[in-house]
Amino acid sequence: MSLDVDLERSERVGEALRETDATLAVAESCTGGLIGAAITAVPGASDYFDSAVATYSYGAKRRELGVSREALDEHGAVSEPVALEMARGVRDVADVTWGVATTGIAGPSGGTEDDPVGTVYVGIAYAGDWGTESSFATASRYEFDGDRATVREKTVDRALADLLGAIDDRRS
């Protein structure tokens, strides 16, 4: 399977991480490792990229990232609270500056009226210096059209764009 994502965006993310002396780890559910693949497609990614973990099941989210049973039970895996916990979890477990997480319904089945196929949450978590109270996490909901491969590719592009936006916001 080829990954049809914006390599230029991966390069820009790498440049921004290098310029800010920041590091990155990703937790992927619906993308199953595609963000890590997009990041490592750039030569020299080892300067800033720590790790990627594919946490597809509830058990993996709990075991690898510390996502709470309550968040999964109350909101389901495809939710803002779980995306936030995934992003914070991968940031903290890997001890990096930035954590990115994706969770969603890539299809072709699994959608509901409230969360149709193509519903995706992207979580971004930042680790500020101790004592600055500048750490934060955000999650955004998206609905993408297309088949499974298209939804996953759009999710990778959106996650990289959201990360780049967050890095740029921190620099300004």
The per-residue pLDDT for 3 is 56
Question: What local confidence, expressed as pLDDT, does residue 75 receive?
Answer: 96
pLDDT at 1: 42
pLDDT digits (tens, 9 = 90+) for 100-116: 999 999 999 998 889 99
The three-point CA angle 101-40-79 to 5° equals 10
Cα–Cα distances (Å) from 94 to 52, 55, 67, 88, in that order, read: 9, 14, 15, 10
The tens place of each residue's pLDDT in the chain, 172 residues long, gives 445 667 899 999 999 999 999 999 999 999 999 999 999 999 999 999 999 999 999 999 999 999 999 999 999 999 999 999 999 999 999 999 999 999 999 999 998 889 999 999 999 999 999 999 999 999 999 999 999 999 999 999 999 999 999 999 998 8
What residues does each domain of the chain span? 7-171
- Check if CATH label 3.30.565.10 holds for domain 7-171: no
For tokens 């709470």, name the residue.
68
Per-residue confidence (pLDDT) for residue 87, from 0 to 100: 98
pLDDT for 171: 86
Q: By three-state DSSP, how is residue 141 classified?
A: strand
Please state whether the predicted TM-score (pTM) of the whole model is above 0.75: yes
> Strand 119-126 and strand 136-143: pairing?
antiparallel
